[in-house]
Amino acid sequence: MRTTAAAALAGAEQLGGLLYRRLMEGGVPPSGAIAGLAREYHETAAENLLVMREFAHVLDQLGDLRDQVLVLPGAALLRLYPDLGCRSMDDVDLLVAPGRGGVVRRALGDMGMRSPRRHPDILVGERLTIDLHERALNEDRVSSRSQAGSLTAAALWETRRCVELDGMIIPAAGLEDEFIYSAAHAVRHGYSRLVWLADLAFLQQAMPDWELLQFRCRRHGITRPVLYALHLLRRELGCVLPPEVLFWLHAEPLGSLERMLLRRAFADGCDGEWGDLLWSCGVPRWRARWSFLLETAFPRPRVLLQVFPFLPRGLAPLAYFLRLFQLLGRGVRLGARVLRRLGR
């Protein structure tokens, strides 16, 4: 692949900074294409530094409440990357201890952070945006998601620990739980961002105890997304997995539907269409699986109004018609892609 094309792809996937770093380490001479990557690298480093400074201040101001929060991946995973310029962050996802969401939200509000309309769990500061979670995988938004496994705050608090990120100490989940969360998050969104695979690759490199990972998968009831992630790491990123992981992949092979959906997720440019279908494969019973898919397609009004923010609350039922058209549109786009592929 030519440098220009690689640079453009990396930039689009928010991995331009990482590519630039690797090119510098490899002694690749500067060129026009690399200038763009350098710009992204420096901007990412600068932005991340400013966000981290603001976040450090917020953690400081939280005081004792700091024990009631945990930083979820991606921000927590910045520590695994070579430096601040290698991975951009949209926001900092904070998981709150059970029952403490209100008090943490108020504390952040007292610091001057404000929520956009219809998004009470998002708090925006000067450069920092915090996304508050009371359920790690947002099972409170789509309750049937818990049928495919659940990362409860109580379970994540079992492995909660302090890690260093850019000179500050932040509370994070255990490494195994971070892998499970990242794998589940990536499949939920249909692997639509390559940066999530990069996260998993760095986690995989840092993983000390694969047996513990398997134990934590059983603890959370989330195994399939982890297996998908490992397959993708091996097949798409060429990661070398240790023998115990290869044994695990062999012992729990993917079904033909899962293999097809995983291939599609990547073949279609990772635009996220197949994520929910793949995620549903982790639901053990057919009836529960259909219930999962139905609620994912048509969640409760509060969630749909976030998807269609222009709709007044009084017209919430209309959101279901809009959602139907949205899904039909996606179906038509998918069908067109399949037909184009068959035609080649």
Positions in the binding site for other proteins (CB under 8 A): 20-21, 24-25, 38, 41-42, 45-46, 49-50, 53, 82-85, 166-167
Between 46 and 294, CB nearer to other proteins: 46
CB of 3 to other proteins, least distance (A): 16
Between 48 and 280, CB nearer to other proteins: 48
Contact between residue 230 and residue 249 where contact means Cβ atoms under 8 Å apart: yes
The angle formed by the CA atoms of residues 208, 210 and 211, to the nearest 5 degrees, is 120
CA distances in angstroms from 142 to 152, 265, 276, 301, 314, listed in the order given? 14, 22, 12, 11, 21
Between 81 and 228, CB nearer to other proteins: 81
How far apart CA 190 and CA 277 sit, in angstroms, is: 9
CB of 85 to other proteins, least distance (A): 6
Between 22 and 323, CB nearer to other proteins: 22
How far apart CA 330 and CA 344 sit, in angstroms, is: 21
- Residues 6 or more apart whose CB falls under 8 angstroms from that of 129 comprise 90, 91, 92, 122, 123
Between 84 and 153, CB nearer to other proteins: 84
DSSP-derived 3-state class of residue 301: helix
Q: CB burial class (10 A; 0-12, 13-18, 19+) of residue 69?
A: buried
How far apart CA 73 and CA 175 sit, in angstroms, is: 10
CB of 164 to other proteins, least distance (A): 14
Give the neighbor-by-neighbor strand order of the sheet with 168-172: 122-124, 129-133, 92-96, 69-71, 168-172, 161-165
CB of 93 to other proteins, least distance (A): 23
CB of 20 to other proteins, least distance (A): 7
Between 81 and 191, CB nearer to other proteins: 81
Between 49 and 316, CB nearer to other proteins: 49
CB of 282 to other proteins, least distance (A): 39
CB of 35 to other proteins, least distance (A): 11
Between 25 and 64, CB nearer to other proteins: 25
- Look up residue 8 and give its two tokens: 């453009």
Question: One-letter amino acid identity for 36?
Answer: G
Contact between residue 20 and residue 40 where contact means Cβ atoms under 8 Å apart: yes
Q: Please give the full DSSP string across 198-229, using - where no structure is assigned.
A: HHHHHHHHH---HHHHHHHHHHHT--HHHHHH
CB of 62 to other proteins, least distance (A): 20
